[in-house]
Amino acid sequence: MSLNIGGISLRHGLILAPMAGAADASFRAVCRAQGAEYTVSEMLSAKALCYEQLSRKTADNTHKTANIARITPPEAPCSVQIFGSEPEFMARAAALLASGEYRGADDGRLLPVAIDINMGCPVHKVVSNGEGSALMKNLPLAGEIIRAVRDAVKIPLTVKFRAGWDADHINAPELARIAEANGADAICIHARTREQMYAPGVDISIIGEVKRAIKIPVIGNGDIFSADDAVRMITQTGCDGVAVARGALGNPWLFREIAFALDGIPYVPPTDAERLELALAHARDMIARKGERVGLAEARPHMARYTKGIHGSAVARDAIMKAESLDIIEEIFSGLCP
Ligand SMILES: Cc1cc2nc3c(=O)[nH]c(=O)nc-3n(C[C@H](O)[C@H](O)[C@H](O)COP(=O)(O)O)c2cc1C
């Protein structure tokens, strides 16, 4: 299998899906190093980026939105995901991001290789503004947004959405056709409705339906927690690539495992010691990028996840979530893996 996103060629089509609050620069870099071929930023508000750029303040904390789009070499190729419901703001934000001509987040950053439009976020705060998956209820506006962003940037454009709003309104194939007609280079479909949020169980047949509806590449997404899950999605739906979100948390090696399965090569999983070594490197990188306080707070849930499956880790996870320094986490790890 291979995936081509507007000229960006990925041998296995393995993508780290966007995860606000989890797939930050550090985690994207970790996943890239373990076989993800392409990453996507956390979602950022197009309108917030535009307003932030208009504001005269220049202190670091006034560029919070721009910071989300900060890409460094270990995460590349990385696409930046934007959300919003107003075509003009979406177009302006995309143009700013693609040109790199915005203030903030400018030390060592790379340009995004693509822009991804979020039409799948189910969160109330987003949907109540007509953004994210609410756009699946307004396909003409969804089309206008895609067209406006397409006209604003030359780099590849992708759109991520769900099966539909609810079981009575499954319209992903229709939105896929609209995305294709308005110039998208690929689409990513999460095989759940908005109503399902993240409830267990996905019906991946919708991915096959979308694949049959359009000619541009289709990236399948939803409940890939093992190489078997990925292979099943690819063989059953004919999708051109897969995006993995939760399955990579605590297990970034999943990408390599999937690549090996696709190549028919036996896969040897990392030892417990190797897992915890990478976990610590991940935490150190988070602290280096975000500072001790924020970095450690955000690293704790990642660290807890890395211990899953290791003997005696249930108790350790509680301690990790309370650890006040990385040294303490390191000590807990040594107890697990002497
Ligand atoms: C913590 C978290 C944050 C997420 N943030 C985003 C986001 O910013 N943009 C987006 O399009 N999807 C977001 N998603 C959805 C995932 O990209 C993905 O579509 C969904 O989790 C299903 O894939 P999975 O079963 O592999 O987790 C998020 C999911 C999680 C769990």
pLDDT of residue 105: 74
> Are both 171 and 298 inside the same structural domain?
no
Residue nearest to atom 29 of ligand 1 (CA): 19
Q: What is the pTM assigned to this prediction?
A: 0.97
Out of 38, 42, 190, mutate this one to test ligand 1's pocket (max ligand atoms within 8 Å of CB): namely 190
Query: Would the CB of 245 count as within 6 Å of ligand 1?
Result: yes
pLDDT tens, position by position, 242-288: 999 999 999 999 999 999 999 999 999 999 999 999 999 999 999 99
Pick from 231, 263, 295: which residue ends a domain? Answer: 263
pLDDT tens, position by position, 219-232: 999 999 999 999 99
d(CA 14, CA 258): 8
Residue 239 belongs to domain with CATH number: 3.20.20.70
Of 121, 188, 239, 337, the active-site residue reads 121
Cα-to-centroid distance, 327 and ligand 1 (Å): 31
> Are both 238 and 277 inside the same structural domain?
no
Query: Would the CB of 224 count as within 6 Å of ligand 1?
Result: yes
Contact 153, 103 (CB under 8 A): no
pLDDT tens, position by position, 171-200: 999 999 999 999 999 999 999 999 999 999
Q: Assign 216 to helix, strand or coil.
A: coil
> Are both 155 and 283 inside the same structural domain?
no
Q: What is the pLDDT averaged over residues 21-44?
A: 98
Give the number of domains in the chain: 2
Buried-state track 277-291, b at ≥16 Cβ within 10 A, e below 16:
ebbbebbebbbebbe
What stretches of 182-291 show up as alpha helix (H) in DSSP? 205-213, 227-237, 254-263, 272-290
* CA-derived radius of gyration, the chain: 20
Does residue 59 have a pLDDT over 60?
A: no
> Are both 201 and 77 inside the same structural domain?
yes
> Are both 49 and 107 inside the same structural domain?
yes
Q: What is the pLDDT averaged over residues 115-122?
A: 98
Pick from 211, 246, 263: which residue ends a domain? Answer: 263
d(CA 114, CA 242): 17
> Are both 189 and 312 inside the same structural domain?
no
pLDDT tens, position by position, 204-219: 999 999 999 999 999 9
d(CA 307, CA 333): 8
pLDDT tens, position by position, 286-330: 999 999 999 999 999 999 999 999 999 999 999 999 999 999 999
Residue 281 belongs to domain with CATH number: 1.10.1200.80
Q: What are phi and psi of 250, to 5 degrees?
A: 75, -5
d(CA 112, CA 101): 12
Does residue 163 have a pLDDT over 80?
A: yes
> Are both 287 and 249 inside the same structural domain?
no
pLDDT of residue 58: 53
Q: What is the pLDDT averaged over residues 93-97?
A: 97
Does residue 108 have a pLDDT over 80?
A: no
> Are both 113 and 27 inside the same structural domain?
yes
Burial of 161 (0-12, 13-18, 19+ CB in 10 A): buried
Pick from 236, 263, 290: which residue ends a domain? Answer: 263
Host H or E run for residue 44: strand 44-45
pLDDT averaged over the chain? 96
Q: Closest by alpha carbon to 80, among 101, 63, 94? A: 94
* Residue 188 Cα: closest atom of ligand 1: 19
Q: What is the pLDDT averaged over residues 132-146?
A: 98
* Residue 42 Cα: closest atom of ligand 1: 8
Range of the domain at 29: 3-263
Query: Would the CB of 45 count as within 6 Å of ligand 1?
Result: no
188 is catalytic: no
Cα-to-centroid distance, 67 and ligand 1 (Å): 19
Query: Would the CB of 19 count as within 6 Å of ligand 1?
Result: yes
pLDDT of residue 130: 98
Query: Would the CB of 223 count as within 6 Å of ligand 1?
Result: yes
> Are both 139 and 168 inside the same structural domain?
yes
> Are both 232 and 285 inside the same structural domain?
no
